[in-house]
Amino acid sequence: MRLEIQSIDIHDLKPGSKTYAEDHVLYVNSKELEEILLKDRRIKSVDIHFVYPGDRVRIVNLMDVVQPRCKIDKVEADFPGFIGKMQTAGSGRTRSLRGITVLVSNPGTNRKYSALLDMSGLVAEMSRYARMKHLCIAPTISEGTEERDFEDAVKMAGLKTAVYLARGAEGHPVDEVEIYELDIPSLNKKSNLPRVAYYYQLYSPQHDHIGISDPCFYGTDVRNLTPTIIHPNEVLDGGVVGAHTIRALDTYTIQNHGVIKELYRRHGKDLIFAGVVCGVANMEPVTRSRQAMMASNLVKNVLGADGVVLTKIHGGLPHVDLALVAEECEKLGVKTAIFIQPLISYGTLADTLLFNAEAVNLIITVGATMERINIPLDAERFLGGTADTKIYCPDPIVQHAGDPVLDVEQFLIAGVHDHLGGAKIIVKEY
């Protein structure tokens, strides 16, 4: 499978009478975009705003961050299963816009975990997204639409906006072309280089809102997904998107998957990238054991890996699931490296351990995502909500977006942490 990503660097984002790119500036016809999004009857109206670094604005009720991308030579292949027709993602040519994103807010959300982003002040110093330019969309619900159905509509609106912006850049010179090509069936098994696979934990049902799974894999419910081999290009090219809450992970992060890109970069040099096994976290011990057994078998006996890198979704149960997969891999002779997040922000790293296995001893911490931080208010405007929008903090704290200081756990600040190895944050024990 061969994927060619053609990247265009966008230096500025401006309103325009039509949507097009010229001299690294993307002009956007907001009215035309609005008409496209309102074709979905579940959406009553949509607010569209241009947001820039240094703006004294706080975006709340954030559901997702998406990099503008579109397929160039494949019909209805954008985010297949979500907005495009069902087909395998990961091949052909894709146009990608760098330096800008789509910020997707759901102002009417009833979820207590909703992310935020400040474009100035302390948060702006921490978040990679505060250094980018954004088109922020915030749909409102049509009368008679069910809550979860509307959440899906908001998600799709964000993906449609990303495709619309990327299509608008047609004809602009390309700044960089990246080739991701991996023919797994014909990988040279005679190579002396170690074969390294990747185990990708996609989702955890512990986060299901009102008992319904967020569709993040080809637009479908993944709660009962058994371990499955997928091509890494499917992840990079829209087959996987973020869930309906960010929790240190969003679609932009998946599109620029740190571990997959690093394995590609080193493929054929000091390792052979053997492929990807994906799975989900489980709520029950029996299914957890079954998942670990099946995943380790695929890694060892199907992909033929000598080593495997494993990453997890946010949460404590996923932590245990990942460790069990790693332990089963080690039993089969596959060396493991696990990416985890300490689940408390005080004490020692040893205090954060939820699982103890002597063989599972190569652990990479990707930042203390639940570390709390006090954020002084540096905003004059609020998008995706109002100054009265509730901002989550563990009980008994009740706080609102316009409070002079917010007490926030860092996993709810968009663009600070990255579960997939793409952030430049480490945990240091003093």
With the CA atoms of 206, 212, 214 and 219 taken in that order, what torsion angle do they form, in degrees rounded to the nearest 10? Answer: 140
The first and second tokens of residue 281, run together, are: 């976290």
Average pLDDT for 142-166: 96
- Does residue 417 lie within any of the structural domains? no
* Proportion of the chain above pLDDT 70, given as a percent: 96
Average pLDDT over the chain, rounded to whole? 92
Q: What is the DSSP letter of 131?
A: G
429 has a pLDDT exceeding 80: no
Residues 209 and 228 in one domain: yes
pLDDT score of 292? 94
**Whole-angstrom distance, CA of residue 239 vs CA of residue 3:** 13
Alpha-carbon Rg of the chain, whole angstroms? 21
Residues 172 and 194 in one domain: no
**Whole-angstrom distance, CA of residue 173 vs CA of residue 160:** 23
Q: For the chain, what is the domain count?
A: 2
Please state which of the ranges 87-96, 277-286, 328-337 shows the lowest mean pLDDT: 277-286
Residues 225 and 297 in one domain: yes
**Whole-angstrom distance, CA of residue 293 vs CA of residue 296:** 5
Residues 311 and 200 in one domain: yes
Global pTM value? 0.95
**Whole-angstrom distance, CA of residue 320 vs CA of residue 288:** 9
395 has a pLDDT exceeding 90: no
Residues 321 and 273 in one domain: yes
The first and second tokens of residue 425, run together, are: 């944050």
- Does residue 226 lie within any of the structural domains? yes
Residues 199 and 117 in one domain: no
Range of the domain at 272: 184-365
**Whole-angstrom distance, CA of residue 12 vs CA of residue 10:** 6
* C-alpha to C-alpha distances, 184 to 84, 261, 286, 302, nearest whole angstrom: 26, 16, 31, 11
pLDDT tens, residue by residue, 44-70: 999 999 999 999 999 999 999 999 999
Question: What number of other Cβ atoms are within 10 A of residue 267's Cβ?
Answer: 19
pLDDT score of 159? 98
Please state which of the ranges 212-216, 257-261, 316-320, 416-420 shows the lowest mean pLDDT: 316-320
Confidence of residue 165 (pLDDT cuts 50, 70, 90): very high
